Amino acid sequence: MGRYLIRRVLQVIPVLLIISFIVFALVYMAGDPVSLMLPEEASQEEIDSLREALGLNDPLHVQYGVYIINALQGDFGKSYRYNQDALSIVLERLPQTLELAIVSMIFATIIAIPLGIWSASKQNSYIDLIATGASVLGKAMPNFWLGIMLILLLSVNLAIFPVSGRGTLMHIVLPAITLGTAIAAEMTRLIRSNMIEIMQQDYVRTAKSKGQKDSIVTYRHAFKNCLIPVVTIMALQTSGLIGGALVTEVVFAWPGMGQLLVQAVNARDMAIVQACVFVIAVAVILMNLLADIIYRMIDPRIKYE
C-alpha cells in the first residue's frame, strides 16, 4: 500500500505538467493579454513596454519555463483586479467550495443509498416506480432552474431559508439541495440497478441460507459489493462539485471558487483563471487517488501492481 501510494503520487507529476501546459496555453487562446489590460486608447509605446515588462517578447518555451518555475513556487501571477497573488485569492475561496461540495454529497448520499436499496428490493412496486420517476426528474432538471425555483418557493414565498450568501447553517441548505438533487438521482439509479444484480448472486443466497436477517443480508453481504461503483460515482461527482458548481454558486451568491472563476472569466483576469483551473485539476487528481485507495480497502481482489 505504501509503495503504491508513492508510485501514484509520482504518477501525478506528468499529469500536472500537462495540465500546466494547458493552463499556460489558455492565456494565448483568450487573446492578447496586453490589449485586455490596457485601455483602448493606449499608445503603441505603452503596449510595447508592457509586453516587455510581462516577458511576452521572449520565445514561447522561455515563457513556459518561467511560468513553470513560478507555478512550482505557487506563483500564478497577480490578479490585476485585486492586485494580489492569484493563488492565494483562489485558495481563500476553496474552503467555501469544499464546504458546499461536502454538504451536497452528504445530502445526495443519505437520500440515494436507502432509496436505491429500497427500490431494488421492492422491484416494480409503487415505491420503485416513484423512486425511478423521481430520479429521472431529478437528473433532468437543470441546476439553475431548480435553484431559482427553490429560492422562489422557500425563500421568497415561504421565507424559510435565506435567499443567498453564506453565513448560518440555513444558508447552505438550498444550494446543497440544488447541487445534491441531480447527484442523488444518478446515484439512486446506479445503486438500484447494481443491487438488483447483486441480490441474484450466489453469495447472497448463501447468506440467506445461514439464517441471516434480510437487513443484514442486504446491507452487509449485498451492499458492500455495490460500494465500488458507489465510490466511483461519489469521487467523480465530488470533483465535479469542486470544479463545476459555477452556476449554483452564482445563483446563490455563494462565495466559492466557482463564483470567483465566473467573475474572473468575465473580467478576463487570466491569473485568477489559471490558478482556479490549476487548483481544480489538483482536486480532481486527489479525488481519484482517494477513490483508488478506498477501492483497495473495500475489495481485497484489487491489487496494485
Partner 1 sequence: MIQEQEKPLLDVRNLKTYFHTENGVVPSVDGVSFHINKGEVIAIVGESGCGKSVTSYSVMGLVGQPGKIEGGEILFEEKDLTKLSNGQMRTLRGNEISMIFQEPLTSLNPLFTVGFQISEVIMLHEKVSKKIAKQKTVEMINKVGIPNASKIYYSFPHQLSGGMRQRIMIAIALACNPKLLIADEPTTALDVTIQAQILQLMKDLRQELDTSILLITHDLGVVAEMVDRVIVMYAGQVVEEGNVFKLFENPKHPYTKGLMDSTPKIHERKEELYSIKGTVPTPMNMPTGCRFYPRCEFAMEKCKEKAPELLEVKQGYHVRCWLHEEGEVNLDEEFNRKPATT
Give me the residues that bind partner 1 (CB under 8 A), please: 201-203, 205-214, 221, 224-225, 298-301
Nearer to partner 1, 16 or 204 (CB): 204
Residues in CB range of 111: below 8 A, 6 or more apart: 180, 184, 188
Tell me the closest approach of the beta carbon of residue 214 to partner 1, in angstroms: 8
Cβ(273)–Cβ(260) under 8 Å? no
Measured from the CB atom, is 166 or 296 closer to partner 1? 296
- Rounded to a whole number of angstroms, the minimum distance from the CB of residue 122 to partner 1 is 11
- Three-state secondary structure call for residue 97: helix
Q: Which is nearer to partner 1, 171 or 192 (CB)?
A: 192
C-alpha cell at 189: 439509479
49 versus 200: smaller Cβ distance to partner 1: 200
* Other C-beta atoms lying within 10 Å of the C-beta of residue 52: 11
Q: Identify whether the C-beta of residue 183 lies closer than 8 Å to the C-beta of residue 175.
A: no
Task: Name the DSSP class of 84.
Answer: E
Smallest distance from the beta carbon of 81 to partner 1, in angstroms?
A: 52
Cβ nearer to partner 1, comparing 198 with 284: 198
Min dist CB 203 to partner 1, Å, is: 4
Helix and strand element counts for the chain (H, E)? 14, 2
Q: Three cell numbers at 1?
A: 500500500
CA angle 236, 240, 243 (to 5 degrees): 140
d(CA 2, CA 7): 9
Q: How far is the CB of 82 from partner 1 (least distance, A)?
A: 50
Q: Quick one: 28 or 203, whose CB is closer to partner 1?
A: 203
Within 10 A of 221 (CB to CB), how many other CB atoms are there?
20
Of the two residues 84 and 193, which places its CB atom closer to partner 1 in the complex?
193
- 98, burial (CB in 10 Å: exposed 0-12, middle 13-18, buried 19+): middle
Minimum CB–partner distance for residue 302 and partner 1 (Å): 11
- In the complex, least distance from residue 229 CB atom to partner 1, rounded to whole angstroms: 14
The least distance separating partner 1 from the CB of residue 289, rounded to whole angstroms, comes to 22
Cβ atoms within 10 Å, residue 233: 18
CA–CA separation, 251 vs 145, rounded Å? Answer: 9
Closer of 47 and 228 to partner 1 (Cβ): 228
